[in-house]
Amino acid sequence: MATIRFKAIEEVLNRQPIDVVLPSTKTSKYFGENVFDKLEMQEYLSREAYQNVIDSINQGTRIDRKIANQVAIGMKAWAVERGATHYTHWFHPLTGSTAEKHDAFFEPAEGGGVIESFQGEMLVQQEPDASSFPHGGIRNTFEARGYTAWDPSSPAFVYGNTLCIPTIFVAYTGEALDYKTPLIKALNFIDKAAGDVCQYFDKDVEKVNVTLGWEQEYFLIDNALYNARPDLHLTGRTLIGHASAKDQQLSDHYFGSISDRVKNYMVDFEVEAYKLGIPVKTRHNEVAPNQFECAPIFEEANLAVDHNQILMTLMDKVARRHNFRVLFHEKPFKGINGSGKHNNWSMLTNTGKNLLSPGKTPRSNMRFLTFLINTIKAVHDHADILRASVAVAGNEHRLGAHEAPPAIMSVFIGSQLTNMLDQLEKRVTNKKMTPDEKTELKLDIGKIPEILLDNTDRNRTSPFAFTGNRFEFRAVGSSANVASPMITLNTVVANQLIQFKKEVDAIIEKDVKKDEAIFQVLKKYIIASKKIRFEGNGYGEEWIAEAAKRGLSNIADVPEALKAFISKETKDVFEKSQIFTERELEARYDIRLEIFTKRLQIEARVLGDLIRNHIIPTLIKYQNTLIENVKGLKELFPKDQYEKMSKHELDTIVEISERTAIVKQAVDEMIEARKQANRIDNIRKKSEVYSTKVVPYFEKIRYHVDKLELIVDDEIWPLPKYREMLFTR
Ligand code: ADP
Ligand code: MG
């Protein structure tokens, strides 16, 4: 009998909100208290050491050994005061999550006893035995060591009893084995490229920082129900389960009042986030039942990426304290919204100017148009690698599947800016402009209001939308390490800006005025990238046809999408800009295919087990009950009466048999297909076979099992149902 399910439901019904012990002061008093930030560094480091670290952050200079020792001593003293007993290099391997290996501070002292010790070399570099992290063949060479190295641009922090030091992770041979290494390179690359372009408009610009504000969506599910669903437990999503009669139709969850139990959870992880300096600002209920979102104030992108990774870890840990499980899977429940992680992206100069924000003067609007149009052009030219940067198994259910953002990359900018680009296209010519023409152009540009925020139409269906002073890359999956899309986006935009500057300078050399040269190139880009701009409904059927007509690619299949990692265009850009070598791109491609394939393999196994061990035995049990009943009726009643009375039962018995037969056969075939796929060594071929030969069985099996869920006695259905997982509080 379905004892586990009912016990779980009972547990949930008896749950009380878990109390949160709030700090006794206001947020600003404890915000960042566990972060070794600039203020703390000034207190714990010598002036010289502090200046070295700051230079390293601002200019990427190396920190020498002597200074590293000083920093280590200061950092240790600070950490020990906060209760730290251990330290760890904290890094972002290509698994997508973060990794840590804790070492105690204590060391044997001379003459006996132990002391707390932490040397410069422990801070700067470590050699974790990290042979089990994905490496895509990079570490199969004779020298398979990997190193972690301190990233001073992201501050160390204390969590629990551990001092965590953000690091990069690279192979002995220099190839990156993580997300942070290429991210830092890409951010430096765009700093330089955008900074150079800024010189056309403002000579004071010395540094351009990328800003990133991610919005994190997630589901919560009660721990007891989660544990009663092997599929959720092992794959992060429900592989079977009929839709609840009521789910999100009434939109009554979106922005609804947050229940006490959930609110306490949110408050709890927010307090922990604040202590770590993560500026979580917004919390609300999302569209789907039990779906929520939190968003911070944007930060410099490298820090923002670290903060997102830390927050996901925190959210997971704190959830357990509240008897919840947090689901970051992109599509835990079929038929209702999945979860994404919108990446709000812009660039900020050291002079305080947001490069995607129009200003008061035609000059600042010209700068704005320059960065806007170059971004559109970059997305146009590199749509496929951007799409690939967010392609993971979970996101496949969101992208171009049951919901958007669609598998077709497009850019939305709103009607105002569309008009503006149309005007530019008409007005700008390649011959010398007359004073009248110049005045008209100036007037046009002057029309861009300083604050577009309020009157930019919101188009929720676009994967890449301009939202007033930033672009929002919406196709990113909720479980993603956002470094991946950030590496890609910043590299392709930086590459585009370099190209732009080259073209403008070439025209200037022909004695054309700077402004005119800029407009000429912008006009060219407006025309060249027109087909990526789309203002309509990205979810509509019409768009699919329209996009095909425009020649835009529409890739929903993950292995297909990932091919962009090794396309000629991608290799050209990433090699030229020294973000990735060809070998690193090949490795990343293979690692992603590997992870994708393994996820599908696990899903296929879990599905097989569920059907064979949970569902089919239940079906037989119920069918036997019906058969008993029919036999009884036959014994008790005359034939004509019996036939009438048993009609429903007999139909159900037949339906169960028929559907069971289909399901059983599909499971057998799926297992066979899996076995065949597993025999393939080449991961590129294997992933394709998984995607095209194994996955199609998932839907087929699910379809019939979900129908059966509707006819089998609720008393014996073994798995918590959608209505229970989404609504039982
Ligand atoms: P919405 O749901 O309407 O998109 P939210 O308030 O949920 O808005 O999220 C907006 C996100 O965009 C926040 O994380 C915010 O900090 C971020 N953001 C705002 N301005 C910028 C900017 N210039 N650069 C990067 N991110 C930004
Ligand atoms: Mg948003």
Q: What confidence tens digit (pLDDT) does each residue in 254-285 have?
A: 778 889 999 999 999 999 999 999 999 999 88
For residue 678, give the nearest of 667, 694, 664 by alpha carbon. 694
Which pLDDT band, with edges at 50, 70 and 90, does 359 fall under? confident
Distance 303 CA to ligand 1 centre (A): 15
Distance 282 CA to ligand 1 centre (A): 10
Q: What confidence tens digit (pLDDT) does each residue in 31-52 have?
A: 999 999 999 999 999 999 999 9
List where CATH 3.30.590.10 sits in the chain: 188-579
Specify the pLDDT at position 139.
Answer: 65
Task: Indicate whether this model's pTM tops 0.85.
Answer: yes
DSSP string, 478-534: TTS-THHHHHHHHHHHHHHHHHHHHHHHHHHHTT--HHHHHHHHHHHHHHHTGGGB-
* Average confidence (pLDDT) over 208-237: 97
562 pLDDT more than 60: yes
- Which of the listed residues 215, 372, 471, 472 should we mutate to test ligand 1's pocket, taking the one with most ligand atoms within 8 A of CB? 215
For ligand 1, what atom is nearest to the CA of residue 293?
7
Specify the pLDDT at position 363.
Answer: 85
Q: What confidence tens digit (pLDDT) does each residue in 448-500 have?
A: 776 565 555 577 889 999 998 999 999 999 999 999 999 999 999 999 999 99
Which pLDDT band, with edges at 50, 70 and 90, does 440 fall under? confident
Distance 368 CA to ligand 1 centre (A): 18
Which pLDDT band, with edges at 50, 70 and 90, does 584 fall under? very high
Atom 2 in ligand 1: which residue has the minimum CA distance?
Answer: 215
Residues framing ligand 1 (Cβ under 6 A)? 211-213, 215, 282, 295-298, 344-346, 354, 469-470
List where CATH 1.20.120.1560 sits in the chain: 595-727
Which residue, chain included where needed, has tokens 């690692």? 591
Which pLDDT band, with edges at 50, 70 and 90, does 527 fall under? very high
* Average confidence (pLDDT) over 377-402: 90
Which pLDDT band, with edges at 50, 70 and 90, does 402 fall under? low
Which H or E run contains 465?
Answer: strand 464-466
Specify the pLDDT at position 143.
Answer: 60
Specify the pLDDT at position 141.
Answer: 56
Which pLDDT band, with edges at 50, 70 and 90, does 213 fall under? very high
The torsion angles phi and psi of 49, rounded to 5 degrees, stand at -65, -45
Specify the pLDDT at position 331.
Answer: 95
Distance 253 CA to ligand 1 centre (A): 22
CA of 122: how far to CAs of 105, 174, 720, in Å? 10, 20, 49
Specify the pLDDT at position 179.
Answer: 96
- More reliable by pLDDT, 674 or 404: 674
Which pLDDT band, with edges at 50, 70 and 90, does 443 fall under? confident
Query: In the structure encoding, which two tokens stand for residue 624, read together?
Result: 């036997």
Q: Are 110 and 118 in contact (CB under 8 A)?
A: no
Q: What confidence tens digit (pLDDT) does each residue in 240-255 have?
A: 999 998 888 877 777 7
1 pLDDT more than 60: no
* Average confidence (pLDDT) over 168-195: 94
Q: Are 529 and 376 in contact (CB under 8 A)?
A: yes
182 pLDDT more than 90: yes
* Average confidence (pLDDT) over 437-448: 80
* Average confidence (pLDDT) over 194-209: 96
Q: In the CATH scheme, what architecture does the domain 31-174 have?
A: Roll (3.10)
Atom 11 in ligand 1: which residue has the minimum CA distance?
Answer: 213
CA dihedral 611, 615, 620, 621 (to 10 degrees): 150
For ligand 1, what atom is nearest to the CA of residue 295?
14
4 pLDDT more than 70: yes
Distance 287 CA to ligand 2 centre (A): 14
- Which of the listed residues 283, 285, 298 should we mutate to test ligand 1's pocket, taking the one with most ligand atoms within 8 A of CB? 298
The torsion angles phi and psi of 545, rounded to 5 degrees, stand at -65, -45
For ligand 1, what atom is nearest to the CA of residue 467?
4
- Which of the listed residues 451, 453, 470 should we mutate to test ligand 1's pocket, taking the one with most ligand atoms within 8 A of CB? 470
Decide yes or no: CATH 1.20.120.1560 for domain 595-727.
yes
Q: How far is CA 385 from the centre of its chain?
A: 15
> Could you give the CA distance from residue 319 to residue 522 in angstroms, rounded to a whole number?
49
Distance 213 CA to ligand 2 centre (A): 9
DSSP β-bridge partners for residue 99? 91
For ligand 1, what atom is nearest to the CA of residue 298?
16
For ligand 1, what atom is nearest to the CA of residue 297?
16
Distance 472 CA to ligand 2 centre (A): 7
Specify the pLDDT at position 140.
Answer: 65
DSSP string, 1-16: --HHHHHHHHHHHT--
Superfamily of domain 188-579: Glutamine synthetase/guanido kinase, catalytic domain (3.30.590.10)
Mean pLDDT lowest for which of 539-543, 570-574, 651-655?
A: 539-543
For ligand 1, what atom is nearest to the CA of residue 356?
23
Distance 213 CA to ligand 1 centre (A): 5
pLDDT > 90: what percent of the chain?
Answer: 76
Which pLDDT band, with edges at 50, 70 and 90, does 114 fall under? confident
Mean pLDDT lowest for which of 19-28, 74-83, 630-639, 705-714?
A: 19-28
- More reliable by pLDDT, 235 or 399: 235
Q: Are 67 and 146 in contact (CB under 8 A)?
A: no
